[in-house]
Structure 1
Amino acid sequence: MRGAGRTRSGRTGAAGAEYGRPGGRGSARRQGLPAVPPDRLPGSHGRLRVSAGDRRHPAHDRRRTRRGRNRADRPLHRPDDSVRRRHVAHAGRADDHLRSPEGGVMKEFRYSALTGGGQTISGIREAPSPEHLAADLLEQGLVLLKSKPTLGGIFSGSRRINRKELRDFTQHMATCLGAGVTAVSAIEDFQRQTPGVFGEILADIRNDINSGTQIDEAFARHPQVFSQVYLSLMASGQRSGALDEVFTELVSYLEWSEDLRAQTTQAMIYPAILMVGIFGLFLLMMLFVIPRFKSIFEGIGMDLPTLTVRVMSIGDFMGHWWWLIFGTIGALVFGAKTLFKTDRGALWRDHMLLKLPVVSRFLHKISLSRFSKTFAMIFSSGVDLLRALDLAQEVVGNRVMGLQIARIRRRVAGGETLTAAFADADLFPPLMQRLVSVGEKTGSLDTSLLRASEYLDKEIPRDLKKAFTVFEAVIIAVLGVMVCVAALALLMPIMSIRVKV
């Protein structure tokens, strides 16, 4: 057995030696196969056999594998500055604790601060949080003493500034700057004689300017008071060094806007009073007069006409379910206001207003006049064409016309002329398109649109008076018929009683 074993072993060894020789007949290289290392030859048990000297502990092999993998995974060079900057940009900032929990929503704070000279000042400023407010004031050399949020973040109506105050302030600035008074002195003079919220805002603007902020940037920190048109004109005047002329134009613009608003309000007062009076008379008859006559007629036991029965049924319903009626009206009004605050609802409302038979005429002209006046004033002050179209779009007061102005802007930005862009805008009448074409060809676009605005300003009062005359007649007719029907329903049984007597 041993000999056989040795013989088998010898044969195996000879065969192995023969296969291992480079020039052997069974050479792996001759067969085109890769040579197999001796420690990778499989045994009968299916495992890899290695010599005793090459055997290692499995844990050692795993440690060697981990070390090799770690060395291979290490970068061959240090990351450059761009990689480091990207990493830092994605990392958390050191001032994350100062961020607003609402995601950076600006709030208004009424604050008191201490200047470098020991003087206490107060004002109103927007900031995401009191910490941000303190940091902003510290950059201007002011130390925050106390601050509290205003009611403007909750009740938006409490932060509105009187239009008369804004107009008077603008007139004051135009007069002072035209006389050579500095802007800071002019603001301080008006702020001293203006109590309340507007005075605090002016104090904040004055402090910003004294701290080195540009005047247009100081005004831009209060967008709830100064519109984008106002701020854009101030920025243009700041660049050109003609702030006095800009404030003079703003005075004219604010007076024009106020006159236009006053004309509309004045024309609506009488129809509104008339409608409330007649509707109140109808409610008085249905809720108080008709129920008393009903008890009288029931006591007599007479047969009532069909009209009287139906009117009394309506009166009974209104008397018992008045809370449901007024609640439904209130819900409809609230729902309409909520709907009109959305983009889709406001677009539908403005589209319907432009379709009304009589009212649409003067509403359309009001929007055209606002566009012409605003665009001409902004464009003449040096603002570029596209920015002037953007600002004019915001003040037209009609979403449908605003969409057409946005379409005109896109076409002009795409390289078309203003004349070609206006040619397909059906809400702009041929006269407006012709004036735009002439103004663009002659280089006097602002003058042409000012003439259009002057023409429309003369047309608006006549159309306004005509529209509300028709509206007044319709109100009188509708409510008058309702009152007459209620009165007739009461008179018919009374007349029948007299006939029987």
Structure 2
Amino acid sequence: MPTYVYTALNENGVNMQGAIDADTADAARALLLSRGYVPMKVKAQGASFEFGALGDILNPVKPKELILFTKQFRTLFQAGIPITQLLQVLQNQTESKKLKRVAADMAQSIVGGSTLYDAFKAHPRVFSELYCSMMRAGEASGALGDVMERLVYLLEHEHKIRSDIKSAMRYPKMVLGALTIAFFVLLNMVIPKFITIFSKARIELPWPTKVALGLHHALTTYWPIALGLLVCGIVSYKWWVRTEPGRYWRDHTLLLIPITGPVLQKSVMARFASIFSIMQSSGVSVLDALDVLTNTIGNAAIAREFRRIQDKLREGRGIADPLKSAKFFTPLVINMVAIGEESGSLDSMLKDVAAHYDEEVEYAVAGMAEAIGPVLIVALAAVVGFFALAIFMPMWDLTKMVQR
């Protein structure tokens, strides 16, 4: 029978360490619980070390795992199970090793006197600022179950939007990959063979063939320099977009691109309306909600507009007037917010806006895929057609020379 080493809390909340014989890790936890201990960590004796922060980066929690974890937390909490026992159940049920470790750490923090919000906030790589803010609102208002119901909806809603966008972009990515492969195969494997034939025949090469020959020569001769410039360009770009000006420029530019810009704008409007409505109905103030939105909206250009709105709100204005002067907010959002603010039903109005833009995003994503597909096919045909001209135009001249 294997031996498991454990860290557990006794009935007085004191940490205890030891070893226990059991068939499985779950059996070891059950045995500890039967003895009145709350297991924090249980692993086989001699098990390999887990690389804490590095492991978190290389193996992040998947959205589906987080959604399931949140649903289980909500169900157990509504059933009236104490938080420490609830987290122990989650630790045993979840299949994610990272979430197991997080649940154990959270249980230990709560036993040590931390609030539920502090326990969640201690794991920023797992729980976003929005997630933690929602938990704080639920804990402060005493309506944690209702808040978690809204949080589950929000997590599923955002996961669905991301999945739809990824699905829509799968075909364009495949076409771009085929386009890149076709370009390099034709340039490096097909063109050189025909160039040798044309050189021996001493015929005048047409301009498509000269361009293809020049590209082949540049690629084969200067590829180390080109590769170095490409790597430096990518590294520099990634470093720059991590700065505030670079991030703002990237997100602002994405919103202005004809095909993808409207889809991104509608997606951000849906995210803004759904998050804002949920935080309003959870008792979070407008300023605090905007502060959370600034850090979680996912677009630096719109986040800057939130900061301007916050400044005007601190001057005593309502939210509708600052929205009118803000960039990227659609007339529908502005008008619905104004009506909701005047009638005192801002959260319900924002729910309607979120539902509207959810449908708009679905249609826009489908339209984007339909619009990008033909463009990429034309680009692929243009590349293949260019190389066809580069090969067959001199072949035609060569055929004429042979006939003479």
Calculate the TM-score normalised by the size of structure 2.
0.84
Match for residue 356 of structure 1? 257
1:430 maps to 2:337: no
Deviation at 1:255, TM superposition (A): 0.3
The equivalent of 1:257 in structure 2 is 158
C-alpha separation between the residues in 2 aligned to 1:253 and 1:121?
41
1:323-402 → structure 2 map (5 Å cutoff): 323-402=224-303
Task: Output the amino acid matched with 1:473.
Answer: P
C-alpha distance in 2 between matches for 1:307 and 1:379 = 62
Deviation at 1:423, TM superposition (A): 2.3
Indicate the residue corresponding to 1:120 in structure 2. 17
Shift, 1:154, TM fit? 5.7
CA-CA distance at 1:223 after TM superposition = 1.9
Partner of 2:74: 174
Counterpart for residue 210 of structure 1: 111
| Aligned equivalent of 2:89 | 189
Unaligned segments of structure 1, at least 5 residues: 1-111, 123-141, 143-147
Residue 165 of structure 1 pairs with residue 65 of structure 2: yes
User: Using the alignment, how far apart are the partners of 1:306 and 1:429 within structure 2?
Assistant: 49
Deviation of 1:157 (Å): 2.3
Would you say 1:293 and 2:190 are equivalent positions?
Answer: no
CA deviations 1:400-446 (Å, max 9, x no partner) are: 11111111111111111222222222421221111111111111111
Larger radius of gyration: 1
Q: Which of 354, 359, 366 is equivalent to 1:458? A: 359
Residue 120 of structure 1 aligns to a residue in which SS?
A: strand
Contact kept, 8 Å, 1:371 with 1:393, in 2: the verdict is no
What letter corresponds to residue 337 of structure 1 in structure 2? K
* 1:171-211 Cα shifts (integer Å, max 9, x gaps): 00111122222222221111013352221111011112223
> Counterpart of 1:321 in 2: which secondary structure?
helix
Question: Which consecutive residues of structure 2, in runs of 5 or more, have no partner in the other structure?
Answer: 1-5, 20-39, 41-47
1:64-79 equivalent positions in 2, closer than 5 A: none
SS of aligned partner of 1:119: strand
Contact 1:347 1:400 in 2 (8 A): yes
Q: How big is the shift at 1:150? A: 7.0
Amino acid in structure 2 at the alignment position of 1:206: A
1:95-174 alignment to 2 at 5 Å?
115=9, 119-120=16-17, 151=51, 153=53, 157-158=57-58, 160-174=60-74
* Greater percentage in helix: 2
Matched residue type, 1:227: S
Q: Which amino acid aligns with 1:188?
A: Q
Partner in structure 1 of residue 99 of structure 2: 198
SS of aligned partner of 2:256: coil
How far did 1:296 drift? 1.9
Q: How far apart, CA to CA, are the structure 1 residues paired with 2:314 and 2:292?
A: 15
| 2:29 match | none
The letter for the 1-side match of 2:254 is L
354-363 or 419-428, larger mean C-alpha shift: 419-428
- Residue 203 and residue 423 in structure 1: after superposition, are their counterparts in 2 closer, same or farther (change >3 A)? same
Percent of aligned positions that are identical? 28
Deviation at 1:375, TM superposition (A): 0.8
Cα deviation, residue 151, structure 1: 4.7
**What is the root-mean-square deviation of aligned Cα atoms in Å?**
2.5
In structure 2, C-alpha distance between the alignment counterparts of 1:149 and 1:357, rounded to whole Å: 50
Between stretches 375-384 and 412-421, larger displacement belongs to: 412-421
* Contact 1:173/1:183 (8 A) holds in 2: no
For the 8 Å contact 1:178–1:244, the answer to whether it is kept is yes
Cα gap change, 1:470/1:452 in structure 2, threshold over 3 Å: closer, same or farther? same
Counterpart selection for 1:272 from 170, 173, 178? 173
Aligned length: 367
Residue 492 and residue 378 in structure 1: after superposition, are their counterparts in 2 closer, same or farther (change >3 A)? Answer: same
